[in-house]
Amino acid sequence: MQADLFEPSGAPWHERLSAGAVLLHGFALEGEEALLAALRTVIAAAPFRKMLTPGGRPMSVATTSCGPLGWLSDRQGYRYQAGDPLRGQAPWPPMPPVLADLAQRAAAAAGYPGFSPDSCLINRYVPGAKMSLHQDKDEQDFSQPIVSLSLGLPAIFQFGGLARSDPAQRYPLLHGDMLVWGGVDRLRFHGILPIREGVHPRMGPQRINLTFRVAG
């Protein structure tokens, strides 16, 4: 691990994890109040729900989405679609400008200018919830990066290789951190280890992760 920029005062700093991946420590902390208010608006409009994997097992995380396209998982497979099945195929809530702007700025800071997400998948982790190693490959354009925002309880991010069996490095993600990966690393396997028990002072006993994508 090599830090591109380190501010000992506690200001945000950037850590390059690999050729195409950058961890932006504390990037989202400035403007946190507006960010959390926008998030509450989205969740109120489209509540969290537990989805099934294609194999019929419930996911350990609860999910929702905002933007023109939302991510779904059920026995039919993984996909994006414009309508929310929990709300009678109503459109997903619009992506709040504060969230879209944050994602665009994070992508640019990591070396991916011009990023314009059309989907934001929001995952809620409670203690014990996890995300197994997987690739983000339901999108149509792999030239666009994935931009991830962590809120609430700490998490351990696993960043593997292009095969599931490749060794995975582990990186702690804290409240306000943003992680961007693309380019040669766009299809690397990644996941989250089980969240440990705890209570975050702003978010309570949970971790919420937002991932911004160009899906369509």
pLDDT digits over 73-89, tens only?
999 999 999 999 999 99
**pTM for the whole structure:** 0.93
- Distance, CA of 138 to chain centre: 14
Answer positive or negative: Cα dihedral of 93, 94, 100, 102: negative
Q: What is the pLDDT of residues 200-213, one digit of tens each?
A: 999 999 999 999 99
Average confidence score pLDDT of the chain: 94
Order of all β-strands in the sheet with 21-25 = 2-5, 13-18, 21-25, 178-181, 146-152, 207-213, 119-125, 58-66, 49-52
- As a whole number of angstroms, the distance between CA 92 and CA 95 comes to 9
Query: Can you read off the two tokens belonging to residue 31?
Result: 């403007």
Position 47 pLDDT exceeds 90: yes
Q: What is the pLDDT of residues 164-195, one digit of tens each?
A: 999 999 999 999 999 999 999 999 999 999 99
Is 202 exposed, middle or buried (CB count within 10 Å of its CB: 0-12, 13-18, 19+)? Answer: exposed
Domains of the chain, residue spans: 14-47+94-150+170-213
- As a whole number of angstroms, the distance between CA 41 and CA 10 comes to 30
Q: What is the CATH number of domain 14-47+94-150+170-213?
A: 2.60.120.590
Which one has a higher pLDDT value, 64 or 4? 64
Position 5 pLDDT exceeds 70: no
Query: Can you read off the two tokens belonging to residue 214?
Result: 């160009």
Q: Which helix (H) or strand (E) holds 131?
A: strand 131-134
